[in-house]
């Protein structure tokens, strides 16, 4: 009876918190877009910066939670400090796979089903998308190398963070420079074509102050909602719904990727393909930047491991992140990656996730 009650309360809490995340994702998208417009940025760059930062909020919150006792719940209190640290790092890694295939590939299928693209056409790529995917490969590759000894050092963690910071800065300048240098390679877009960084300085206005305050308030709301989601998921583990390894690695990544899913849905309906890819790749880079946040926060090296049946397989799962991204980059550059290829990617993703639940 007690087990059934724990399951009911935890499941209800999880559903309610996810619904609140769903409500919050809409105004976050709108406010982030307004801030970007006030800064005179095109929509694809807004998507890869402000929108990516907003949707990465839950993952960043999870990294912060892993460095503090902020999560309530019976299961969280019984975990060792190393398991708590690993939960933040591995949540970042597997959220990146959720975004790349579980959300990105599914969104491509939605575009096909809605008749917005021809499944046999190649997937186009703007400069901002190229930059985001390249940074993602670099960040995921670094994480894979750093994880060979199952330890993230203080220096390695800062390396990942610096990659994320450089990516955000680059999005404000590099796409404009590439568009100017290679104007013939700019994809026709439904929002903006070529653009340049405004020559006049940005004037801080009252509206920018208001929108910034709303943006911060919404992100704080994400912190509260994600905290409740994490509490519910760890409590579900106490009644054997999933292994602790499965909860640490897979289940929490679903919850933290929820805003990316909602924003992807909005981009699909609006037929904004470049913005969709820019947001997902940008979010992935920001996620991986915080993979070693606990090591940075406590200024010490941290072990990263899982509590599943075959923890030795973890490096292989991590190495698949840059491997798939490299294949995707080559296919996009050579125009051999078509919309219909989303179907086998989704099939691969399902195998990846299901095997992770069982083995890790």
Transcribe 280-321 into DSSP letters: HHHHHHHHHHTTTHHHHHHTS-EE----SS-GGGHHHHHHHH
β-strands 302-303, 151-152 pairing:
antiparallel
pLDDT score recorded for residue 203: 63
d(CA 360, CA 354): 10
d(CA 130, CA 332): 9
pLDDT score recorded for residue 82: 62
Give the residue, 215 or 162, on which the prediction is more confident. Answer: 162
The alpha carbon of 37 is separated from its chain's Cα centroid by a whole number of angstroms, namely 23
pLDDT score recorded for residue 304: 86
- Region of poorest pLDDT, from 164-178, 185-199, 230-244, 308-322: 185-199
39 Cβ neighbours under 8 A, 6+ residues apart: 202
d(CA 274, CA 251): 28
Architecture of the domain whose range is 2-359: Up-down Bundle (1.20)
pLDDT at 319 exceeding the cut of 90 = yes
Transcribe 130-165 into DSSP letters: HHHHHHHHHHHHHHHHHGGGTEE-HHHHHHHHHHHH
Give residue 159's pLDDT band: very low, low, confident or very high (50, 70, 90): very high
The alpha carbon of 307 is separated from its chain's Cα centroid by a whole number of angstroms, namely 23
- Region of poorest pLDDT, from 82-91, 101-110, 162-171: 82-91
The dihedral formed by the CA atoms of 117, 263, 296 and 161, expressed in degrees to the nearest 10: 40
pLDDT at 249 exceeding the cut of 70 = no
pTM: 0.82
Indicate the domain borders of the chain: 2-359
d(CA 264, CA 258): 10
pLDDT score recorded for residue 153: 93
CA atoms in the 13 A half-sphere facing the CB of 84: 20
pLDDT at 114 exceeding the cut of 60 = yes
Give residue 188's pLDDT band: very low, low, confident or very high (50, 70, 90): very low
């Amino acid at each position: 009876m007690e087990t059934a009650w724990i399951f009911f309360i935890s499941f209800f809490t999880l559903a309610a918190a996810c619904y609140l995340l769903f409500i919050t994702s809409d105004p976050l998208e709108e406010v982030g877009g307004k801030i970007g417009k006030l800064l005179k940025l095109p929509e694809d760059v807004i998507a890869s910066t402000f929108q990516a930062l907003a949707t990465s909020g839950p993952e960043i919150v999870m990294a912060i939670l892993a460095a503090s006792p902020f999560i309530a719940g019976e299961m969280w209190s019984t975990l060792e400090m190393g398991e708590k640290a690993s939960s933040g790092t591995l949540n970042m890694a597997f959220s990146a796979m959720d975004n790349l295939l579980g959300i990105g590939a599914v969104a491509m299928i939605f575009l096909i089903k809605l008749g917005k693209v021809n499944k046999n056409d190649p997937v186009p790529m703007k400069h901002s998308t190229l930059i985001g995917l390249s940074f993602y490969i670099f960040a995921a590759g670094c994480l894979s190398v750093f994880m060979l000894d199952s330890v993230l050092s203080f220096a390695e963690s800062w390396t990942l963070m610096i990659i994320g910071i450089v990516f955000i800065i680059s999005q404000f300048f590099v796409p404009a420079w590439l568009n100017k240098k290679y104007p013939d390679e700019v994809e026709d877009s439904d929002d903006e074509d070529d653009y340049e960084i405004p020559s006049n300085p940005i004037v801080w206005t009252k509206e920018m102050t208001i929108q910034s305050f709303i943006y911060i308030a919404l992100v704080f709301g994400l912190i509260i909602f994600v905290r409740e989601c994490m509490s519910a998921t760890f409590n579900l583990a106490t009644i054997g719904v999933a292994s602790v390894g499965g909860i640490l690695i897979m289940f929490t990544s679903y919850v933290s990727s929820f805003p990316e899913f909602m924003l992807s849905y909005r981009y699909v309906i609006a037929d904004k393909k470049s913005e969709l890819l820019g947001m997902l790749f940008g979010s992935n880079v920001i996620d991986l930047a915080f993979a070693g946040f606990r090591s940075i926060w406590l200024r010490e090296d941290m072990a990263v491991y899982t509590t599943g049946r075959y923890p030795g397989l973890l490096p292989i799962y991590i190495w698949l992140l840059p491997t798939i991204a490299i294949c995707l980059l080559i296919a996009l550059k050579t125009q051999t990656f078509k919309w219909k290829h989303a179907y086998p990617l989704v099939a691969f993703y399902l195998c990846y996730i299901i095997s992770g639940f069982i083995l890790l």
